[in-house]
Amino acid sequence: MDEKDRQIIRALQQDGRMSNQDLAAAVSLSPSPCLRRLRNLEKEGVIRGYAARVDARAYGLPITAFVRIRLERHDETTVQTFEREVDRMDEVLECHVMTGQTDYQLRVVVDSLDDYERFIRARLHRVGGIGSIDTSFAYGTVKESMVFPMR
């Protein structure tokens, strides 16, 4: 990947709906080479897809929780079961494997504290193999960006 590919990626991260004509102009290429580079980035899996960024509160999911999970055991079965089950939970928008005191950090969106309690009791607890759950609720957002820094 070269600097021109990075420019294409940043431009699309800022506006994923721009036309190839506008993209080419933004990165100082003619449309054909720009489209060729774009298709290569998609084919190679660098660009994994396109999606609308939606305000969770306006959608009806005003509560964001960051949930830190520590597993009881780290055997293959426990880890695979946990990861497979979390992948099936629509409330979980992100799941990261962590270093330090916890094994995973989840970003969860729900419509209420009651809904969060149901999520923990009915979904997460049923996975099994969880040693501890620690939750922090976000009460505001200072910055949210999908645009990578310049390199």
- pLDDT (tens digit, 9 = 90+) per residue, 34-44? 999 999 999 99
C-alpha 142, offset from chain centre:
17
Q: Say what the pLDDT of residue 74 is.
A: 95
Q: Say what the pLDDT of residue 150 is.
A: 86
For the segment 30-56, the average pLDDT, to the nearest whole number, is: 96
pTM, whole model, 2 decimals? 0.88
- pLDDT (tens digit, 9 = 90+) per residue, 90-129? 999 999 999 999 999 999 999 999 999 999 999 999 999 9
Instruction: Name which of 150, 148, 146, 149 is nearest 52 in CA terms.
Output: 146
Sorted by where each starts, the structural domains of the chain and their CATH numbers stand as 3-43 (1.10.10.10), 56-138 (3.30.70.920)
